[in-house]
């Protein structure tokens, strides 16, 4: 359990609590019995480092993390200047605030940065990922943060909330005092629903995507079993609404299957743990160019500029194909030639190991989920 959160609900998963009231308690149960899903991911770890840097901590970032962090800071700071227009303001960063109900802590939220005067507060939430965030107007996490700020800065008459994202820009919503009061009532209702002993479960791709209870949730497993049994009996539906329903179910199913694999992969951190026939197999070796500016200069001798520009993502596979076409080389020869041209500029890296069957054959009599 995260001590700072005291095992109580927090703002960040609020949208999923609104969608599935049972999630909060079941996640706690999953945590208690050591069956939590989504414990961490490289993307989440990178996001944590970027947030720490933005909060002023001395953190060593990778080149791409440093670019993301600098862009987010520049965008966010520009918004602060725009909103306060030369007025003096104060700032707080990365602080956890609490909402009390009946005199007891009931919910907390940690904001990235809040800038405020006596009358106005601007809450900014930096988003580092590539998944499009819910816009500020519909963002449940920001609704909770707006209320927490209003409760903790009682002189403010308006709270502005902003999502600050690299790929998706800025979205903004404004909460007047009456809107803050309505939001408070909504939050209190959701809190009551998620703490109820019979809080219902409502599986959906949005609710289940980051749910830590995925591995033990019967409602989700029942949703997964539906399409599996129907697929045994009939052809795939062609009509739009049924196809959409099936695809939603498949997304939920895919998330569960991925987490089952991650769960067992995590078990291999214990060197004494074994699964017959399975092991963490080394990841594929990938090539990366260390200096694209120099590489491009060298490649321009062989591939014309237009074609190089077409592979703007600088995929070595695409460049190899273009080189093969130009020099009339087969795939393997093109690879060798490219390695010669870019000698000293290519670095080999190994992808993370993954859980795979390495011996014997799968014996599938039935699949129980």
Interface residues with ligand SF4 (CB under 6 A)? 16, 20, 22-23, 26, 201, 203, 207-208, 211, 213-214, 217, 219-220
- Residues 99 and 97: their CA atoms lie apart, in Å, by 7
Q: Is 118 exposed, middle or buried (0-12, 13-18, 19+ CB in 10 A)?
A: exposed
Q: Which is nearer to ligand SF4, 38 or 49 (CB)?
A: 38
Separation of CA 369 from chain center: 25
Q: Which is nearer to ligand SF4, 127 or 214 (CB)?
A: 214
In whole angstroms, how close is the CB of 201 to ligand SF4 at the nearest point? Answer: 4
Q: Which is nearer to ligand SF4, 254 or 286 (CB)?
A: 254
Computed from CA positions of residues 304, 310, 314, 316, in that sequence, does the dihedral angle turn out positive or negative? negative
- Residues in contact with 130: Cβ distance below 8 Å, sequence separation at least 6, in sequence order: 167
Of 3, 191, 213, the C-alpha closest to 107 is 191
Q: Which is nearer to ligand SF4, 203 or 227 (CB)?
A: 203
Q: Which is nearer to ligand SF4, 216 or 329 (CB)?
A: 216
In whole angstroms, how close is the CB of 366 to ligand SF4 at the nearest point? Answer: 23
Q: Which residues make beta-bridge pairs with 116?
A: 90, 121
Degrees, nearest 5: CA angle 243-26-248 = 5
Name the packing angle between helices 316-327 and 331-341 (round to 10°): 110
In whole angstroms, how close is the CB of 219 to ligand SF4 at the nearest point? Answer: 4
Give the pair of three-digit tokens for residue 358: 């390495």
- Residues 162 and 283: their CA atoms lie apart, in Å, by 39
In whole angstroms, how close is the CB of 1 to ligand SF4 at the nearest point? Answer: 18
Q: Which is nearer to ligand SF4, 16 or 124 (CB)?
A: 16
In the three-class reduction of DSSP (H, G, I as helix; E, B as strand; rest coil), residue 296 is classed as: helix
- Mind giving me the DSSP string for 189-210? HHHHHHHSTT------HHHHTT
In whole angstroms, how close is the CB of 17 to ligand SF4 at the nearest point? Answer: 9
Give the pair of three-digit tokens for residue 286: 């990938």
Phi, psi for residue 314 in degrees, rounded to 5: 50, 45
Q: Which is nearer to ligand SF4, 14 or 201 (CB)?
A: 201
Q: Which is nearer to ligand SF4, 112 or 249 (CB)?
A: 249
Of 116, 98, 99, the C-alpha closest to 159 is 116
In whole angstroms, how close is the CB of 304 to ligand SF4 at the nearest point? Answer: 52
In the three-class reduction of DSSP (H, G, I as helix; E, B as strand; rest coil), residue 257 is classed as: helix
In whole angstroms, how close is the CB of 38 to ligand SF4 at the nearest point? Answer: 10
In whole angstroms, how close is the CB of 16 to ligand SF4 at the nearest point? Answer: 6
In whole angstroms, how close is the CB of 217 to ligand SF4 at the nearest point? Answer: 3
Tell me if 55 sits within 8 A of 237, measured CB to CB.
no
Q: Which is nearer to ligand SF4, 15 or 153 (CB)?
A: 15
């Amino acid at each position: 359990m995260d001590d700072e959160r005291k095992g109580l609900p927090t703002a960040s998963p609020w949208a999923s609590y609104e969608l599935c009231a049972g999630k909060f308690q079941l996640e706690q149960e999953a945590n208690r019995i050591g069956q939590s899903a989504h414990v961490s991911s490289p993307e989440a770890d990178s996001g944590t480092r970027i947030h720490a840097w933005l909060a002023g901590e001395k953190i060593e970032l990778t080149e791409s993390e440093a670019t993301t962090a600098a862009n987010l800071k520049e965008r966010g700071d520009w918004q602060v200047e725009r909103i306060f227009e030369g007025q003096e303001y104060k700032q707080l960063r990365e602080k956890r605030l609490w909402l009390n109900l009946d005199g007891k802590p009931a919910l907390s939220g940690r904001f990235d940065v809040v800038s405020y005067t006596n009358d106005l507060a601007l809450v900014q939430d930096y988003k580092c990922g590539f998944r499009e965030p819910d816009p500020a107007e519909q963002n449940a996490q920001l609704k909770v943060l707006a209320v927490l700020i209003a409760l903790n800065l009682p002189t403010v008459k308006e709270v502005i909330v902003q999502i600050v994202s690299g790929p998706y820009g800025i979205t903004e919503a404004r909460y007047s005092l009456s809107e803050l009061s309505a939001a408070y009532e909504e939050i209190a209702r959701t809190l009551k629903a998620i703490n109820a002993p019979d809080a219902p479960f409502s599986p959906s791709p949005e609710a289940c995507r980051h749910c830590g209870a995925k591995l033990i949730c019967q409602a989700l497993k029942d949703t997964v079993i539906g399409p599996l049994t129907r697929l045994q009996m009939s052809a795939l539906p062609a009509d739009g609404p049924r196809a959409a329903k099936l695809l939603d179910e498949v997304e939920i199913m895919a998330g569960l299957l991925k987490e089952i694999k991650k769960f067992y992969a995590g078990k291999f951190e214990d060197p004494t743990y074994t699964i017959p026939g399975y092991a963490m197999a080394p990841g594929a070796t990938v090539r990366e160019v260390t200096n694209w500016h120099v590489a491009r200069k060298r490649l321009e001798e062989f591939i014309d500029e237009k074609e190089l520009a077409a592979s703007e993502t600088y995929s070595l596979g695409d460049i190899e194909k273009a080189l093969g076409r130009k020099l009339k080389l087969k795939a393997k020869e093109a690879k060798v030639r490219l390695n010669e041209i870019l000698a000293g500029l290519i670095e080999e890296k190994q992808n993370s190991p993954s859980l795979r069957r390495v011996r014997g054959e799968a014996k599938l009599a039935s699949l129980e989920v």
